[in-house]
Structure 1
Amino acid sequence: MSTENTIRHHDGRGESREERADRRWNELLQELRVAQTGTQILFGFLVAVVFQPRFTELGTTDRMIYVVTFCLGAATTGALVAPVAVHRLVAGRRLKPETVQWAARLTLVGMVLLYLTIMSTFLLIMRMVLDNGIAMWLLIGMAAWVGLCWFVVPIVTRLQGKDDDGDERKAEDGYGPWPH
């Protein structure tokens, strides 16, 4: 392994650019498997809803919420499956680091869309079973909880990241979801 092609990191890994890209790609695939499965189940539910007899009883507002929810679900599915298409179209062209970077970006977009899809689905269901006022308060609470778990905790963790010497750790490899 040549020293020019090796990246030294605070964690002691001496990976080449390609080895790091391979590892990051495998990590991303594991994350996508979880997100894609949940998205596919949710999208399948959204497809089935329109064919239920009770769907015809929905008012205009609930039908619009459904349309927005369904569009969000389709966009989420597209974003979370996109890394597979990107990989397939550039495979064999020695672009793995760039592929990982694009896939990470698309995955982050997909996670934001999934968050919105879940919240929209939650609102639609809560409006069907509860009073509108209660549904909105539950939506606000759920949006805050999931937002905290999915976005706030990781962002705070990233901002507070320190190495053993107390120095701030930064992504040195450019494989994060956004350019540095």
Structure 2
Amino acid sequence: MATDASPTAPLEHPHDRPDETPAERADRNFVELLQELRVAQTGVQILFAFLLTLPFTNRWTTITDPEQVVYLCTLIAAASASALLIAPVALHRITFQRGVKHVVVHTSDKLALAGLCCLVLAVVGAVFLIVDVVAGGQLAGILAALVAALFSTLWFVLPMALVPGRRR
């Protein structure tokens, strides 16, 4: 992502073109980011909707105090993920045509990463809750840890391993 508004900004991505201006690069990067966010937003919205319905089910009265804590943390993680993953749209809308697209792209990238982290927490919490109710706490802890490891590996470790020497 371009964070430098000068016409001589270094190419930071293999798809950056030398004939591309920083403004064009920022536009392209923002469009790519929005395409990625559409997938994540859909997932978090479905999960969030599911979590919102749980307290209104018949079995909710049998939930234990620790399960309530996990539920509330999971709900807050899903709400936070939703806010963070939708924030780039609001950020773009409010700063539209103010000449700060490169800042919007850079900030939106950070918001999206934070949103993905919250989404991982929400998914892990939901898995823990469901497995805990269905099969018990010990298995819930094991499976939630495995899901956390899977998401962390696929969403964070693998991408970082593919780009050696690059850190966020």
Report if TM-score (shorter chain) is over 0.5.
yes
Match of 1:92 among 97, 109, 132: 97
Match of 1:113 among 88, 93, 118: 118
Equivalence map 1:9-88=2 (5 Å) = 9=11, 11=14, 13-14=17-18, 15-88=20-93
Shift of 1:5: 2.0
The whole-number CA distance in structure 1 between the counterparts of 2:45 and 2:155 is 19
The whole-number CA distance in structure 2 between the counterparts of 1:142 and 1:131 is 16
Q: Deviation digits for residues 61-94 of structure 1, max 9, x if unmatched? A: 1111111111111111111111111111110101
Q: Deviation digits for residues 17-54 of structure 1, max 9, x if unmatched? A: 00100110010000010010001000000011111111
User: Hey, what does 1:147 align to over in structure 2?
Assistant: 152
Larger Cα Rg: Structure 1 or Structure 2?
A: 1
User: Hey, what does 2:3 align to over in structure 1?
Assistant: none
Gaps of 5+ in 1: 161-169, 171-175
SS of equivalent residue, structure 2 residue 99 = coil
The whole-number CA distance in structure 1 between the counterparts of 2:100 and 2:23 is 9
SS of equivalent residue, structure 1 residue 13 = coil
Q: Deviation digits for residues 108-130 of structure 1, max 9, x if unmatched? A: 00000101111111111110101
Letter matched to residue 45 of structure 1: F
Aligned residues: 160
Shift of 1:140: 1.5
Instruction: State percent identity of aligned pairs.
Output: 37
Shift of 1:8: 5.9
Q: Which has the higher helix share?
A: 2
User: Hey, what does 1:124 align to over in structure 2?
Assistant: 129
Q: Which runs of 4+ in 1 moved over 4 A?
A: none
User: Hey, what does 1:5 align to over in structure 2?
Assistant: 7
TM-score (ref. length: structure 2): 0.89
Letter matched to residue 13 of structure 1: R
